[in-house]
Structure 1
Amino acid sequence: MSIFKKKEKEGMPAISTASLPDIVFMLLFFFMVATVMRKDTLIVKNELPFADQIEKLDRKNMVIHIYAGKPSSRYKNVGSEAKIQLNDKFANIKDIQPFVLEEIKSKPKELQPYLTTALKVDKDTKMGLVGDIKKELRDVRMLKINYTTRSGEATDNLK
Structure 2
Amino acid sequence: MSKFRKKKKGMPAVNTAALPDIVFMLLFFFMVTTTMRETSLQVENPRLPSASEVKKLEHKSLVSTIYVGKAKEAKYGTSYNRIQLNDKISTADEVPAFIINARTKVSEAEIPFMTTSIKADKESSVGTIIDIRLKLRDVNALKISYSASAKSGE
Fold shared per TM-score above 0.5: yes
Aligned to 2:99: 100
Residues 56 and 35 (structure 1), Cα distance of their counterparts in 2 relative to 1, 3 Å cut: closer
Q: After the TM superposition, which segments of 4 or more aligned residues of structure 1 sit over 6 Å from their partners? A: none
- For 1:102 and 1:143, the matched residues in 2 are separated by 16
Runs of 5+ consecutive residues of structure 1 not aligned to the other structure: 1-17
Secondary structure in structure 1 of the residue aligned to 2:75: helix
Residues 68 and 31 (structure 1), Cα distance of their counterparts in 2 relative to 1, 3 Å cut: same
Of the structure 1 ranges 80-89 and 22-31, higher mean CA displacement relative to structure 2 is found in 22-31
- Aligned alpha-carbon RMSD (Å): 2.6
Aligned to 2:149: 150
Superposition TM-score, scaled by structure 2 size: 0.76
- For 2:94 and 2:52, the matched residues in 1 are separated by 32
Q: 2:77 aligns with which of 65, 75, 79?
A: 79
- For 1:55 and 1:23, the matched residues in 2 are separated by 38
Amino acid at match of 1:145: I
Matches within 5 A, 1:4-153: 22=21, 25=24, 28-29=27-28, 32=31, 37-45=36-44, 46-72=46-72, 75-81=73-79, 82-153=81-152
- For 2:119 and 2:26, the matched residues in 1 are separated by 36
Displacement after TM superposition at 1:29 (Å): 3.6
Amino acid at match of 1:149: A
Superposition TM-score, scaled by structure 1 size: 0.74
Query: Which string of whole-angstrom CA distances, capped at 9 and with x for unpartnered residues, describes residues 99-158 of structure 1?
Result: 1111011111111011111001011101010000000001101111000111115x9xxx
- For 1:127 and 1:69, the matched residues in 2 are separated by 12
Amino acid at match of 1:80: T
Displacement after TM superposition at 1:36 (Å): 5.7
Runs of 5+ consecutive residues of structure 2 not aligned to the other structure: 1-16
Displacement after TM superposition at 1:32 (Å): 2.1
Matched length = 134
Secondary structure in structure 2 of the residue aligned to 1:64: strand
